[in-house]
Amino acid sequence: MKAPIKTDAEFTALFNEAARMERPKVYRLMLLLSIRLGLRPMEIAGLERSWFRDDTLRIPFGHSKRKSGRSLPVSQDILDAVADLMGNRQGRVMLNAQGEPFTANGISEAMRRLYKRAGVTGSCYSGRRTLATNLIDKGVSIAIVQQVLGHTHLSTTQEYVGVTERMMREAMF
Domain housing 56: 8-126
pLDDT for 13 beyond 90: yes
The reported pLDDT for the residue numbered 63 is: 83
The verdict on residue 64 lying in a domain is yes
Give the closest residue to 64 by CA, choosing from 12, 128, 155: 128
The verdict on residue 169 lying in a domain is no
Q: Helices 8-20 & 24-37, crossing angle to 10 degrees?
A: 160
Quote the pTM value. Answer: 0.92
Stretch among 12-21, 54-63, 83-92 having the lowest mean pLDDT: 54-63
> Structurally, how many domains does the chain consist of?
1
State the chain's mean pLDDT as an integer: 94
Q: What percent of the chain has pLDDT over 70?
A: 99
The verdict on residue 167 lying in a domain is no
Q: Calculate mean pLDDT across residues 153-170.
A: 89
| Interval 61-115: pLDDT, tens | 888 776 778 999 999 999 999 999 999 999 999 999 999 999 999 999 999 999 9
The verdict on residue 84 lying in a domain is yes
The verdict on residue 41 lying in a domain is yes
- Residue 11: band (very low, low, confident or very high) from pLDDT cuts 50, 70, 90: very high
* 52-53 β-sheet, strand order: 52-53, 56-59, 70-73
Instruction: Collapse the DSSP code of 97 into the 3-class scheme (helix H, G, I; strand E, B; otherwise coil) and give the result.
Output: coil
The verdict on residue 104 lying in a domain is yes
- Residue 165: band (very low, low, confident or very high) from pLDDT cuts 50, 70, 90: confident
8 A C-beta contact, residue 132 and residue 161: yes
Distance between alpha carbon 144 and the CA centroid of its chain, in Å?
A: 16
H or E stretch including 59?
A: strand 56-59
The reported pLDDT for the residue numbered 2 is: 87
Give the CATH number of the domain where residue 85 resides.
1.10.443.10
